[in-house]
Amino acid sequence: MAALDQKSPNVLLQSLCCRITGKSEAEVAHQFQYAVRVIGSNYAPTIERDEFLVSEKIKKELLKQRREGDAALFSELHRKLQTQGILKHRWSVLYLLLSLCEDPRKPSSRMGSYGALFAQALPRDAHSTPFYCTRPQSLALSYGERTGAPGGAAAVAGAPGAGGLSGSMGTSGISSLGVYSLNGPTQTPQTLLAGQPPQSAAGSSQPLGSRLAWALPVSSSPSSALAPPTLRLPLGPPALTNKALRPRRDGDGNAEVSEAALVRDLLYVFQGIDGKFVKMSGQDNCYKIDGKVVLCKSLRDTSSRLAELGWLHNKVRKYTDARSLDRAFGLVGQSFCASLHQELKEYYRLLSVLHSQLQVEDDQGVNLGVESSLTLRRLLVWTYDPKVRLKTLAALVDFCQGRKGGELASAVHAYGKTGDPQMRALVQHILSLVSHPILNFLYRWIYDGELEDTYHEFFVASDPNVKTDRLWHDKYSLRKSMIPTFITMDQARKVLLIGKSINFLHQVCHDRTPPGKITPACKSTDTPKDAAELLSDLEGAFQGKIDAAYFDTSKYLLDVLNHNYLLLEHLQAMRRYLLLGQGDFIRHLMDLLKPELARPATTLYQHNLTGILETAVRATNAQYDNAEILKRLDVRLLEVSPGDTGWDVFSLDYHVDGPIATVFTRDCMGHYLRVFNFLWRAKRMEYTLTDIWKGQMCNAKLLKTMPELSGVLHQCHILASEMVHFIHQMQYYITFEVLECSWDELWNKVQQAQDLDHIIAAHDVFLDSVISRCLLDNNSRSLLNQLRAIFDQIIEFQNAQDTLYRSALEELSLRLQEDERRKRRGEEGEWGVTAEQEAEERRRVQEFQDTIPKMRSQLRILTHFYQSIVQQFLVLLTTSSDESLRFLSFRLDFNEHYRAREPRLRASLGATRGRRSSNI
């Protein structure tokens, strides 16, 4: 047992303390307690493990000693050491060499120096930033600018020398207590002596560990206080004069305040509590030392600089106290307050250590002249890093005022865009806490389709007043102000689509498949650490999760729409019936409807037209379509205007409901109705011209016996040929250049669509293209009016030709009857005609011949009007911005027939060709 006791860690540690200090076991009690605390503490790394940086420092040190040859030799040896890989911890070896190189201790005082080191050092407390974040270091925050305090000895100002230490000081955060040197104590740098400004410390050639070697002791034993000077080198500023340290006596109004009293006062100020001498000035919004207090300028300035810490603490604490009880601040805001509370908690831990040290000094009666006591200079060094950290938090609080939810996360993320890695790590740690609720919202939305955003913090918004039929278009939207800046707009759009697809499947498609079977749920951000790891890889893991859920959910939704609700079949039905793609059906339907549609619109009945529609379906290839499609096809009568015929009010209709109504909305069906009316009217012109041509071909032989009609009939043939050419070119343009090309683009996009929004967007583009190129948009209104006028002229020409043929055939019939009568009477042996009958026949023939000039003039006027309208139409086409419409003008006037008649057309065509040649 004795052997085991001798090998226990406590016994070995006590023996080590005795061996290092050269003292007995009773004399090293305090050092042993400190060693136990050191071993049991969780230190944060104080020095960055950069092998290259350490090697460069060694070479610079050799060059300073004018040992260029040794520096070159060291560089070569270090290069060989890197290539061979013999040592696993090269940085540690190099750092040991650097430490030995920088050690200014003399061999005779080595043991005493170690003892002084144990007597002075104090372990650092762990700060709030977890091990996966680097400790933030500094942040420029001008206290004077924020407080508006006037310049003076009593006003609190920022530490002017803070910038010189920020680059090399290694501490553990708000709760850090300074840096202690591994090389033992050294002489106090002149830059930190009383009465000299600390900003010159940046230019000191001594290492930072030597400059800041003193630290707060756990306690001071009488034996260590009485150690010989040779064994105890000064580790801090020299003792102040008796005048500066003289205590305040009762009744002595001119006595100076002791430094210990100021230290005690400042420890209360650090907590936002007014001290006896340092109090908050409401007018200047800063802590000031009472002007009646007698104090030397150096102590007054140092105290003012330290008091800034209390102002920063108050600023952060005021924000957290005001917001912590505000439920409307939301989960993100509460997480932000929790992160600030966490930082303040570590700050309070530092203050408790300082208070306990001050209490130890009071209990043991330590004199202020002792080097290990708590002084303003040491307090300034120990609170430097917490002050920088509080500056960061105070500036962040100012920047986040009035923000909540995703906007607050964006503000925190934007504030972390700095070149200082330590400050960036602090903000990243806060961001991991702030973004934790947002990421939980996000995962709940993309994996379950649930949106529990009571305080409107998430960037996906829901409108509960929207009905189910408008769920996809209007119910869910993006709050752009709430999109965190670390989430791109493309990612936000995908997140919106994922949850919207899940809700669309459940509420509109009535699909009961659990979301977990649609896309497997990944691990959510259970802790802020998970959120931090996810935020560190936004383009990798985070993007991968969103993409996987997006592709799985969208693919499943499109499969349901295509297989269960026949989305693609309905789309093709629109092309075949409403866009007149089923040619045999449309032609047969026109043949059946011709007698009905020729009647006035007021005499039509929808059930009669529906019966004709069903007949046309059964008689053509349309009968082989899916019954689900055919039952949606119907007849619709438009609003009747005075003088309208059935052709003007007839329209086909296609009923849509359920999920497919999301693609074929009311606006889309309105566009289809407009396009159908235009195509139906153009198809009617083709049908009418076919009847005109048939009439001309059938009656040409019959009317050969009436030579007086040859001129009129020739004029009819010419005008009909012009109209046929125009309509054929228009039909070619509409059918092939507009409908077929647009449909091919739509079908390719639908086949490649990754989500429902892509299909809806492609369908909208298709309809817009058809509306625009069929001259149905507002920009083509003048062209459409001219085209409708041309269609009206075709109808008038049909009526005029029908009247001509009716009169001619009636006259022909009378002449044939008269000839038959004469022939029959001649066979009977009588005169073929009497004088009275002959006179009557001549009078009737003369009357008919008198109507021919009227018919000729009517056709001439009709031709003139038709050609003038076509010429105006061509002028508008040539000035159009659409290249396909300009090419249409070339085909309509391929032989320059109209160009020769219209000067404006010649100018327009010439300008157009000049523009084309210049483009080439």
**Dist CA 837 CA 818 (whole Å):** 10
Question: What pLDDT shows up at residue 526?
Answer: 58
Residue 354 has pLDDT above 80, yes or no: yes
**Dist CA 260 CA 254 (whole Å):** 18
Decide: 635 and 610 in contact? Cβ < 8 Å.
Answer: yes
Report the range of poorest mean pLDDT among 68-82, 225-239, 345-359, 653-667: 225-239
**Angle at Cα 266 formed by Cα 261 and Cα 272, nearest 5°?**
140
Q: What is the DSSP letter of 762?
A: H
Q: Which helix (H) or strand (E) holds 287?
A: strand 286-289
**Dist CA 640 CA 724 (whole Å):** 29
Specify which residues 690 forms β-bridges with. none
SS3 content of the chain, % helix, strand, coil (to 5): 65, 5, 30
Q: Which of 217, 244, 570, 174 is nearest to 392 (CA)?
A: 174
DSSP 296-331: -HHHHHHHHHHHHHHHHHHHHHHHHHHHHT-GGGHH
State percent of the chain over pLDDT 90. Answer: 40
Residue 444 has pLDDT above 80, yes or no: yes
Q: What is the DSSP letter of 246?
A: P
Question: What pLDDT shows up at residue 728?
Answer: 95
- Per the model's pLDDT, the better-predicted residue between 180 and 469 turns out to be 469
Q: Which of 683, 722, 714 is nearest to 696 (CA)?
A: 714
Specify which residues 460 forms β-bridges with. 478
Mean per-residue pLDDT for 60-86?
82
Q: Exposed, middle or buried by CB within 10 Å (0-12, 13-18, 19+), for 410? A: buried
The H-assigned helical ranges of 125-283 are 143-147, 162-166, 208-211, 222-225, 242-245, 259-269
**Dist CA 415 CA 430 (whole Å):** 11
Residues 6+ apart with CB under 8 A from 582: 576, 620, 621, 622
pLDDT band at 365 (very low <50, low <70, confident <90, very high): low
- Per the model's pLDDT, the better-predicted residue between 452 and 667 turns out to be 667
Q: Which helix (H) or strand (E) holds 423?
A: helix 421-448
Reading the block at residue 356, the tokens are 């306990």
**Dist CA 548 CA 306 (whole Å):** 54
Query: For the segment 851-871, what is each residue's pLDDT rounded down to a tens digit?
Result: 889 999 999 999 999 999 999
Decide: 340 and 316 in contact? Cβ < 8 Å.
Answer: yes
pTM score > 0.85 for this model? no
Question: What pLDDT shows up at residue 528?
Answer: 65
Residue 918 has pLDDT above 70, yes or no: no
Query: For the segment 831-844, what is each residue's pLDDT rounded down to a tens digit?
Result: 766 777 778 888 88
Question: What pLDDT shows up at residue 527?
Answer: 62
Question: What pLDDT shows up at residue 217?
Answer: 37
**Dist CA 429 CA 440 (whole Å):** 17
Question: What pLDDT shows up at residue 796?
Answer: 94
Question: What pLDDT shows up at residue 522?
Answer: 62
Distances (CA, A) of 769 to 516, 569, 762, 766, 907: 40, 21, 10, 5, 29
pLDDT band at 163 (very low <50, low <70, confident <90, very high): very low
Query: Residue 170 CA to chain centroid, in angstroms?
Result: 38
Reading the block at residue 792, the tokens are 């009206």
**Dist CA 242 CA 529 (whole Å):** 54
Reading the block at residue 184, the tokens are 């033992």
Question: What pLDDT shows up at residue 729?
Answer: 94
Q: What is the DSSP letter of 247?
A: P
Residues 6+ apart with CB under 8 A from 432: 133, 528, 529, 531, 532, 535
Question: What pLDDT shows up at residue 537?
Answer: 67
Residue 524 has pLDDT above 70, yes or no: no
Residues 6+ apart with CB under 8 A from 353: 122, 125, 175, 177, 216
Question: What pLDDT shows up at residue 532?
Answer: 66
Q: Which helix (H) or strand (E) holds 377?
A: helix 376-382
Query: For the segment 228-256, what is each residue's pLDDT rounded down to a tens digit?
Result: 333 333 333 333 333 333 444 444 445 67
Residue whose token pair is 């189910």: 468
Decide: 104 and 392 in contact? Cβ < 8 Å.
Answer: no
**Dist CA 236 CA 255 (whole Å):** 26
Mean per-residue pLDDT for 34-46?
64
741 SS3 class: helix
Decide: 404 and 331 in contact? Cβ < 8 Å.
Answer: no
- Per the model's pLDDT, the better-predicted residue between 635 and 373 turns out to be 635
**Dist CA 256 CA 561 (whole Å):** 87
Reading the block at residue 858, the tokens are 């009517």
Residue 638 has pLDDT above 60, yes or no: yes
**Dist CA 268 CA 362 (whole Å):** 16
Decide: 309 and 383 in contact? Cβ < 8 Å.
Answer: yes
Query: For the segment 303-334, what is each residue's pLDDT rounded down to a tens digit?
Result: 889 999 999 999 999 998 888 878 788 899 99
Mean per-residue pLDDT for 475-503?
93
State percent of the chain over pLDDT 70. Answer: 77
**Dist CA 320 CA 317 (whole Å):** 5
Distances (CA, A) of 482 to 326, 441, 457, 492: 19, 13, 7, 10
- Per the model's pLDDT, the better-predicted residue between 127 and 506 turns out to be 506
Mean per-residue pLDDT for 532-551?
80
Question: What pLDDT shows up at residue 219?
Answer: 37
| Dihedral over Cα of 351, 357, 363, 368: its sign | negative
Dihedral pair phi/psi, residue 232, rounded to 5°:
-140, 90
Q: Which of 4-13, 253-262, 693-702 has the highest mean pLDDT?
A: 693-702
Question: What pLDDT shows up at residue 585?
Answer: 95
Mean pLDDT of the residues in the chain: 78
Residue whose token pair is 């592709």: 551
Residue 823 has pLDDT above 90, yes or no: no
Phi-psi region of 178 (alpha: psi -120 to 50; beta: other; left: phi over 0): left
Distances (CA, A) of 535 to 375, 428, 442, 529, 819: 43, 9, 13, 10, 104
Question: What pLDDT shows up at residue 165?
Answer: 32
Q: Which of 65, 96, 59, 60 is nearest to 78 (CA)?
A: 59
Q: Which helix (H) or strand (E) holds 851?
A: helix 835-878
Mean per-residue pLDDT for 876-899?
88
Mean per-residue pLDDT for 742-762?
95
Residue 344 has pLDDT above 70, yes or no: yes
Reading the block at residue 744, the tokens are 């091919």
Map 443-474 to HEC letters: HHHHHHCCCCCCCCCCCEEECCCCCHHHHHHH
- Per the model's pLDDT, the better-predicted residue between 61 and 409 turns out to be 409
Decide: 496 and 508 in contact? Cβ < 8 Å.
Answer: no
Question: What pLDDT shows up at residue 228?
Answer: 34
**Dist CA 496 CA 554 (whole Å):** 12
Residues 6+ apart with CB under 8 A from 684: 590, 647
